Structure 1
Amino acid sequence: MTTAPGRSPARTLITVAPTGAETAKADVPTLPTTPEELVETAVACEAAGAALIHIHVRDSDHRPTLDPVLLKEAVVAVREATDLVVQLSTGGAVTDPLEQRLTVLDADPDSCSLTCGTTNFGDDVFLNPWGFMVDLYRQAQECEVVPEFELFELGHVHALRRLIDECGLPYGDKVHVDFVMGVPGAMPGTPQTLLAALALLPAEVTSWSATGIGRTHLPIAAAALSAGGHLRVGMEDNLVFAKGQPVTHNKELVSRAAELATIMQRPPMSTEEARELLGVKERRAR
C-alpha cells in the first residue's frame, strides 16, 4: 500500500458516479442522462470536491447505451469542461454483450472500470467471466488506460490477485480498487465486511475506495474514511440523501462526502493529486 501501516492518506479521492444504468429517467427526472446534464453535473461536482467521474452514457431516449460515438462525445465534453479524471464504465447495463463492452476503451478515457468476477445483481446476473476480464485488462494495458478494479464479492479480491499474477501491473504501475458493497445478492455493505475484504487485498494495491449502495451509503463512507480509504458517491449508487429526502443533484452527495472527509482531517484531493495517485496518462489538450 502507498501509506505505512496504521496511517491514512492525507487526502481523500472522491469519485462521483452520477447516472448508472439501472435507474429510469422517468422515475427520477433529476438523473443526469443528456450530454448537457452530464457536463453540468461534472462541473458542479468538481467544484464540490470530486476528482474523478465514473460515466455511464444514455441515448436520446435516456436508455443505457455503449454507442461508441456517444461514449467518445461524453469523454471529450467532460474533459473540455473540467479537469476531472474521466472513467468509463465497461459494465454498461447487465444485459450488454461482452463483445460490446470490450469496445469502450476506443473512446480514449483516462480510466475504466474492470469488475473482477461475475456476481448476482438484484434479480439479474452481472457477467464477468475470466476470459473477458483478462481481455479487458490487457486491452487497458495496451491503450494505456488505468483500470479501477471493482470488487462486489470477497472472491473478487482473489480474482484480482490472479489477474495481477497473470497480466502484471496496470499502465502506470498503480493498482486502485473500489469495493462495491450492498448490492442485493452480493457482499453486504457493513464495516465488518469491508474490513474482511481489506485484509485480503494483494500487496500490489496502492489505493482503494468503497461504495455503499442505498442505505449502506453512509455507514460504508464512514468506515472507509476511518480505515484509510477513499470514497465513491453518486446517484448511480444512492438516490436518497436522508429519510424522506431524495437526492436532487449529485453535488449534494459529493459535498457531504467532502464534508465528512474534511471532518476526518482528510480533505478532498485535487484532480492533479488524483492523477498522481492513479498513475493516469495525460490526455488533456494543453
Structure 2
Amino acid sequence: MNRNVILTCAVTGAGDTTGKNPNVPVTPRQIADSCIEAARAGASVAHIHVRDPETGGISHSTDHFREVMERVREADTDIVMNITAGGGGDWTPDSEDPTRGGPGTDIQTPAERHEPVGELLPELCTLDCGSLNFSDMVYINTAEWLREHARLVQQAGVKPELECFDLGHVWFARQLQQEGLIDGDPLYQLCLGIPWGAEADTETMLAMRNKLPDNADWAAFGIGRHQMPMVAQAMLLGGHARVGLEDNLMLKKGVMATNGQLVEKAGGIIENLGGRVMTPAETRERLKLRDPSTGKIVGGEA
C-alpha cells in the first residue's frame, strides 16, 4: 500500500466532451484556471491538453500550451505541469478508400508531437507506448516513432510519463528503458477502461503492475464510473492516482463534476484509506523533476 500519493488532475483531454459537461475547459485561460482550481483542491500534478478556443476540438498549438503554462506559473498556487505529447496519432479509414485517413484522422510526426515540450520544457510530458484500437479509431504509435520521440524527450531533459493502455505497452516501455532511452527511475501511467485496451479492474491493474521494472514509480486511472474505484485500487497496490474531466465527467449519478470536486473526492478516498496527497514540492523531490523556478533537478544535478 502506498500512503504518500501523487494525485494528478487531467483537466480537459481532447475528446468530444465539451457538449456533455459545461465545466470542461476549452480556452487557454479556462484550462489554466482549471489547473489552478485543481491545485487549490490539493492536486500534485496538472496534466494538460489544449483545444481550439473556437470549436473546442483538438489543437496542438504551442502558443496555446505556452499561454496555459504562463498563466499557471504566474498564479500563487504551485502545481507540477505535465504536457501531453500524445496527440496526432488518431486514424480512421476513409469509407471510400480505406488506404487513406477519413474524418477524425489527425496524424503528427514525433517531432511535431514534441514541439510544445521542446519549447516549453514542462516538468513532465506523456509518452504513449504503443498503438491501440481506441474505441472506433486506431491510435498509431509505431516502435520507431516511439524510439524517436523518446530520444527527443530525453534530449530536452523532460521526464516522460510512460502511458500504457495495454500489457504490450508495458513491455515496450521496458524495452525503451533497456535501450537507454529513459533516464533515471521510470514513471508509468496505467490507463484503464478505454475500449479496447486494458480493462479497469483489479486483475488487469495487478497484471500490469507486476510487469513493471523494480525501480519504477507508477500511477493508474480508470475512465467514467471506474475513476474513483481505480484511485483506491492503485493506492492499495502501491501506486499513485489520476482523476479529472479528461477521464470522467460525473461527480456522481446525475451530477456534473468540476476538476476541483474530483480532486477533493479522490483526496478524501486517499485520506480515508490512511494516506495523504503529496505536495507539488514533494512530487518534484520524489520524481527528481526540474524545478521551474531554478531550472535544476530537485534532489539531483542541474
- When normalised by structure 2's length, the TM-score is 0.87
Instruction: Indicate if the aligned counterparts of 1:39 and 1:78 stay in contact, CA closer than 8 A.
Output: yes
The equivalent residue for 2:21 is 28
Seq. identity, %: 33
Residue aligned with 1:221, SS: helix
The alpha carbon displacement at 1:219 in A equals: 2.2
- Which residue number corresponds to residue 293 of structure 2? 284
Is 1:161 equivalent to 2:174 in the alignment? yes
Residue in structure 2 matched with residue 63 of structure 1 by the alignment: 57
95, 100, 103: which is aligned to 2:115? 103
> What letter corresponds to residue 165 of structure 1 in structure 2?
Q
Question: Which residue of structure 1 lines up, in the alignment, with residue 139 of structure 2?
Answer: 126
Query: 1:137 touches 1:167 (CA, 8 Å); kept in 2?
Result: no
Counterpart code for 2:60: L
Separation (CA, whole Å) in 1 of partners of 2:235 and 2:291: 28
Q: Which runs of 5+ in 2 are unaligned?
A: 91-105, 296-302
What residue identity is the alignment partner of 2:269? Answer: L
Q: Retained in 1: the 8 A contact 2:123–2:292? A: yes
Secondary structure of the 1:276 match is: helix
Tell me by how many angstroms 1:228 deviates: 1.4
Q: Which residue in the other structure is 2:101 paired with?
A: none
Q: 1:71 Cα deviation (Å)?
A: 1.6
* Structure 1 residue 285 displacement after superposition: 6.3
1:193 aligns with 2:188: no
In the other structure, the counterpart of 2:159 is 146
The whole-number CA distance in structure 2 between the counterparts of 1:76 and 1:174 is 28
Aligned to 2:82: 87
User: In 1, are the aligned partners of 2:81 and 2:122 still within 8 Å (CA)?
Assistant: yes
Do 1:191 and 1:219's aligned partners in 2 also have CA atoms closer than 8 Å?
A: no
Q: 1:183 matched to which residue of 2?
A: 194
Is contact 1:23–1:236 with CA below 8 Å preserved after alignment? no
Q: Residues of 2 paired with 1:167 and 1:126: CA distance?
A: 25
Q: Which residue of 221, 237, 244 maps to 1:227? A: 237
Is the Cα–Cα contact under 8 Å of residues 134 and 167 in structure 1 kept in the other structure? no
**3-state SS of paired residue (2:5):** coil
Of 44, 65, 75, which aligns to 1:51? 44
Contact 2:114–2:149 under 8 Å retained in 1: yes
Q: Report the Cα distance in structure 2 between the residues aligned to 1:275 and 1:69, rounded to whole angstroms.
A: 25
With over 3 angstroms needed to count, the CA separation of the structure-2 counterparts of 1:25 and 1:169, relative to structure 1, is closer
Give the one of 222, 242, 251 matched to 2:252.
242
Structure 1 pair 66/168, CA: closer, same or farther in 2 (3 Å)?
A: closer
- Give RMSD over aligned pairs: 1.6
Deviates more, 1:60-69 or 1:191-200: 60-69
Deviations 1:117-158 (A, max 9, x none): 111111011111111211121111111101000110011111
Moved over 3 A (4+): none
Verify the 8 A CA contact 1:35 1:74 in the aligned structure 2: yes
TM-score, with normalisation over the residues of structure 1? 0.91
Cα pair 2:3 2:235 within 8 Å, conserved: no
Unaligned 5+ residue runs, structure 1? 1-7
Tell me by how many angstroms 1:77 deviates: 1.7
Q: Contact 2:33–2:72 (CA<8 Å) still a contact in 1? A: no
Counterpart CA distance in 1 for 2:247 and 2:170 is 21
Name the amino acid aligned to 1:258.
Answer: G
Aligned to 1:4: none
Return 97-106 or 85-94, whichever deviates more.
97-106
Q: Which of 66, 70, 76 is the matching residue for 1:72?
A: 66
